Amino acid sequence: MRQIVLDTETTGLNAQGGDRVIEIGCVEMIDRRLSGEHIHFYINPERDIDAGAIAVHGLTVEFLADKPKFADIAEDLRAFVQGAELIIHNAPFDLGFLDAEFLRLGLSSFRSQAGKVIDTLIEARKRYPGKRNSLDALCERLEVSNAHRTLHGALLDAQLLAHVYLAMTRGQNNLAMDVLDQSSQAGQSVKKIDFSSLSLPVLYASELEQAAHEQLLDRLDAQLKGTSLWREAPASS
């Protein structure tokens, strides 16, 4: 499964009123793993930038004056997201701006270039009702470090959002499933080994290790708003 985590910065808040996209950042995930592939554009908006927007992202008309126009990067952007599932925080905002940019060029909507859209703001509100669900708040809640983020930046925010999304949707994956998945991606076959004849020592956790384990389960329970798998009573045979 190919997913693209996307973020934009803009000249203001009103796409229909003429505000433009000035930065785009996209990072690629394949089967829920960051592939290392990304694209990033600074864009000359050919107009002024609201002072409030500059306070958020720090991008000025002077800095963007020698950057490409949207028409110059549209095809590269379209090709990168083609058919992929999009992951965006507050998706209507970014999609509204990108659709408006594609419309100016006489192209089909940006939204039509990709597949399904996952709005992490909607997902976060379902999981954490009544709480703050900004990207910064989610980073803090899910222990994703954003210490290096002083201003908004499209590529940095897309990278942070990728980690937030993975943390928010990680579930309780089986370690064996991860090993099998990694092997299959590398084109390797997994051989079964008979361990029935081996006598393995049993190593019990120390009191400190047990306490650390309980603290980890407490955090999992808080995130799940329930009881994690490891605290459920085993099924009777």
Altogether, the residues listed in the chain come to a count of 237
What are the backbone dihedrals phi and psi of residue 54, each rounded to the nearest 5 degrees, phi first?
Answer: -60, -35
Residue 152 known to be catalytic: yes
Structure tokens at 16: 């229909």
Q: How many CB atoms lie within 10 A of CB 130?
A: 6
**β-pair type (85-88, 2-10):** parallel
Largest CA distance in the chain: 75
Rounded CA gap, 71 and 202, in Å? 64
CB 90 within 8 A of CB 58: no
What are the backbone dihedrals phi and psi of residue 25, each rounded to the nearest 5 degrees, phi first?
Answer: -130, 130
Catalytic residue from among 57, 89, 152, 163 = 152
**Listed residue (135, 159, 31) closest to 85, CA to CA:** 31
Rounded CA gap, 35 and 29, in Å? 5
Q: Which residues are catalytic?
A: 152
